Chain A
C-alpha cells in the first residue's frame, strides 16, 4: 500500500510556524493529523502525566514565541524530539532521568518546525520501546524525504513559511 505524507499548518506563533503531517493511503485519508493524534492521546491521562504533558505544550508555546533554536531540541537521528531532558533531585545529588513523553518533530530552521507524533517512552533505547518506535521511524523517514525535497526545491522555505505546499506530498 502506498503511503503519502501531506504537510499542513498546525499553529503559528510570533517567531515560529509549526506544521504537522497527515497520512494519506490509496483508499483513505487519515481523519486527524499526526499532531492532533498526539494531543488526543493525552486528553485524559493521570495527573502526573498531565503535568508532563502540560510542560511539553508550554514548551512548544514558549519556543514559538522566541525561536526554534537548536539548543532546545533533542537530536533523534535525522529528526528531533521535545522535550530535551528533565532532572530529578534527591537530597544528596541531582541525577538525570528522561521524561516519559517524547514528541518527535523536524526542526527545519529557527522559524519552522514540523511536529509529528509521539508517546510515553517506556524503555531507555527507542528501539526497545514499542510506544515510540513507530513515531521515531516515521519522523526520520519524513526528515530524509523532506531533505531531498528541499534540495530539489520541490518545497521552499521562506522565513516562517513553507512555500508551494498545496501540490506537495511525500511518498513514503
Chain B
C-alpha cells in the first residue's frame, strides 16, 4: 500500500517535471544503448569528445538539464541520432513538398 503522503503529493507533480524526467531518462537510456551497440565505454566517449570521464558521467545522469548542443555533440561522437524531429524539415524533398503545399494554400486563399 502506497504512503498516503506520496499519494497526496505525487498528484501535484507538474506536467513539465513529468515530461522532463521522461525525456532526460530517455536520452540517457538511448546513449547507453548506443554505447553498448558500439562496444564503447563512457571512457571512449569522453575521449572522442575530448572531455573528462566525470564530465560525460554528469551529462548522462538523470535529471540533468542537457543542452541541445550537448546532444548534438553526443550524436556526432556516436554517429547516430539521439533526438529526432519527425518532420525532418532539412530533408530536401519534404522541404520542397512543404513549400508547394504552402503555395497551393496561398492560391486557394487568393
Interface residues of A (CB under 8 A from B): 9-12, 20, 32-33, 35-36, 39-40, 43, 51, 54-59, 61-63, 66, 71-74, 82-89, 94, 96, 99
Contact = CB atoms under 8 A, between A and B. Distances in A.
A63 B19 CA distance: 13
A102 to B, nearest CB: 12
Contact of A57 (B17, B55, B66): B17
Interface string B67-82: 1011000000000000
Interface of B: 1-3, 5-6, 9-10, 12-14, 16-18, 20-22, 25, 28-29, 32, 55, 58-67, 69-70
A9 B6 CA distance: 12
A85 B9 contact: no
A71 B5 CA distance: 27
A120 B28 CA distance: 25
A40 B28 CA distance: 30
Given A57-B17, A71-B60, A87-B65, 14 more contacts: A32-B5, A35-B3, A39-B3, A39-B9, A55-B20, A57-B10, A62-B22, A71-B32, A71-B61, A83-B63, A87-B58, A87-B59, A87-B64, A89-B67
A83 to B, nearest CB: 3
Contact of B13 (A9, A35, A61): A61
B25 A66 contact: yes
A20 B21 contact: no
A97 to B, nearest CB: 10
